[in-house]
Structure 1
Amino acid sequence: MTTILVTGGTGTLGRLVTERLRAGGHEVRVLSRHTQPYAADLREGGPGLDAAVAGVDTIVHCATSPRGDERAAGNLIAAARRAGVGHLVYISIVGVDRVPFAYYRSKLAVEKLVEESGLGWTILRTTQFHDLVVQVLRTLGRSPVMLMPAAVSDQPIEVAEVADRLTELALGAPAGRVADMGGPEVRTLESLARAWLRATGRRRLMIPVRLWGAAYRAFRAGGHLAPEQAVGEGTFEAYLAKRFGDAPAR
């Protein structure tokens, strides 16, 4: 039986990975700031982190934050070295090396730390999860008028499919940078918004807006997409139907 530590194991992806690993009979430790018995703040490190990694064969690093990811990864890698962990699996994002967006830059920096860690490592990049797209659309839809970034597309993927793949990788040997995972369809942001509005019974006026900056240009150019790796099967509409069902008109 393999002992596996899942960082961010209470989050959207980490929870599903944890469930799958446990269903396979593996001992799984969940590391988060508040989950006992392995509560630790990766950004601070310390004895709690060392206790969590002691005796672990594999770490699946799902924890992420808008700030402090590099520091957290550095602390995790140092603890993993001390504990003699054999395999570190990291989930990243398609386009972190092509889109000059601050969060993406941080993810790319963590990838470099993982690659140079001296540990056996595997990195999987995926496109955005369906629920992240919904979060963005909900923010844009707070006003009666939705100001939509013009000429931007997305390729959302079902998080359960990513969890399946990450579980498979965690149970295998270190594989380095593996093939990206993209959702089944490249869709304009406007078409995704219309699907969300229908599913939730909302009515909004959508107005395309041209933004500025290098990151926006990279998103417009599709730097965050993986059309050649459209391996996902769950569509955005299927996700919406499962989450919202038949929403009443508003």
Structure 2
Amino acid sequence: MTMILVTGGTGILGRHVGERLRADGHEVRVLSRHSRPYAVDLREGGAGLDAAVAGVDTVVHCATSPRGGDEEAAGHLLAAARRAGLGHLVYISIVGVDRVPFAYYRTKMAVEKLVEESGLDWTVLRATQFHDLLVQVFGVLSRSPVMMLPAGVRDQPVEVTEVAGRLAELALGRPAGRVADMGGPEVRSLESLARAYLAAAGRRRAVVNVPMAGRAYRAFRADGHLTPERAVGAGTFEEYLAARFGARRHA
């Protein structure tokens, strides 16, 4: 039986990774800011982090925050892993972090570099956006009577449980460096995805595509965050919406 630590283990992805590993008979430690007995803020490090990593065979690093601090958190985790003589660290990143000059993507790329230069044996998987993220974004954008979208942008959403399954598989294997990207089954316009969301959520909103400016926007329009050649996911956005919303009345 393997002992695996999942950072961000109470989050959308980390929770599924832990469930998959436990279902396969492995022992899982969950690290998050509020999860006992390994309640640790990775941005601060400390003795609690050393205790969490002690005796662990593999770490699956899912903890992240778009509000910042990922590089500091990774630095503390990697230092603790080196002190503990960790055998394998698996990191989840995002497709396009090396092509899209978006602040959060730059941070993920910086963490990838920290992992690569850590002296540890490692594996990095890049995935496209989860269905959950799109629903979260569309939920915010649809608060207005007019739903405004960045014109000309497409996406390739993937089912989070499938990414979790792949991470669990990688955690149980040998360190593999950067592995093949993982994308959802379809590349779709944001408008088509937004309209599918509105229909499933029972919301009637006007949808307007708005041209934007900036290098990040141009990179998104150029599909820098997509991996159509690695459309290995099976679950579609409509299937996710049906499972999440079921039948809804119009609002």
Indicate the TM-score class for this superposition, using the shorter chain for normalisation.
over 0.9
Q: Which residue of 1 aligns with 2:169?
A: 168
Q: Distance in 2 between matches of 1:62 and 1:213?
A: 29
Q: Deviations over 1:212-242 (max 9, x none)?
A: 1000000000000000000001000000000
- 3-state SS of 1:4 partner: strand
1:57 matched to 2:87? The reply is: no
Structure 2 SS opposite 1:128: coil
CA separation in 2, counterparts of 1:23 and 1:186? 32
For 1:156 and 1:247, the matched residues in 2 are separated by 22
Q: Secondary structure at the match of 1:73?
A: helix
Corresponding residue of 1:78: 79
Distance 2:21 2:124 in 1: 18
Q: Deviations over 1:87-140 (max 9, x none)?
A: 000000000000000000000000000001111100000000001011111111
TM-score relative to the length of structure 2: 0.99
Name the counterpart of 1:155: 156
- Counterpart position of 2:28: 28
Give the aligned CA root-mean-square deviation in angstroms.
0.6
Q: Which amino acid aligns with 1:244?
A: F
Stretches of structure 2 that go unaligned for 5 or more consecutive residues are none
The number of aligned residues is 250
State how 1:194-233 maps to structure 2 within 5 Å: 194-233=195-234
1:24 deviates by 1.4
Q: Distance in 2 between matches of 1:151 and 1:37?
A: 47
Q: Aligned equivalents of 1:148 and 1:83: distance in 2?
A: 47
TM-score by length of 1: 0.99
How far apart, in 2, do the equivalents of 1:205 and 1:148 lie? 11
The aligned amino acid for 2:132 is D
Matches within 5 A, 1:89-168: 89-168=90-169
Taking the aligned partners of 1:148 and 1:43, their CA distance within structure 2 comes to 34
Q: The residue matched to 2:64 in structure 1 has which SS? A: coil
Cα distance, 1:22 vs structure 2: 1.0
- Deviation of 1:3 (Å): 0.7
For the residues of structure 1 that align with 2:212 and 2:157, how far apart are their CA atoms? 22
Q: Distance in 1 between matches of 2:27 and 2:154?
A: 40
In structure 1, what is the Cα distance between the partners aligned to 2:155 and 2:183? 10
1:150 shift after superposition: 0.3
Residue 189 of structure 2 corresponds to which residue in structure 1?
Answer: 188
CA distance in 1, matches of 2:233, 2:20: 18
How far apart, in 2, do the equivalents of 1:148 and 1:22 lie? 40
Q: Which runs of 5+ in 1 are unaligned?
A: none
Rounded to whole Å, the distance in 2 between the matches of 1:249 and 1:19 is: 35
Q: C-alpha distance in 2, partners of 1:101/1:169?
A: 27
Match in the other structure for 2:12: 12
CA shift for structure 1 position 147: 1.1
How far is 1:249 from its partner?
2.3
Structure 2 CA distance for aligned equivalents of residues 83 and 74 of structure 1: 14
Aligned-pair distance for 1:32? 0.5
Q: Secondary structure at the match of 2:78?
A: helix
Separation in 2, partners of 1:25, 1:207: 49
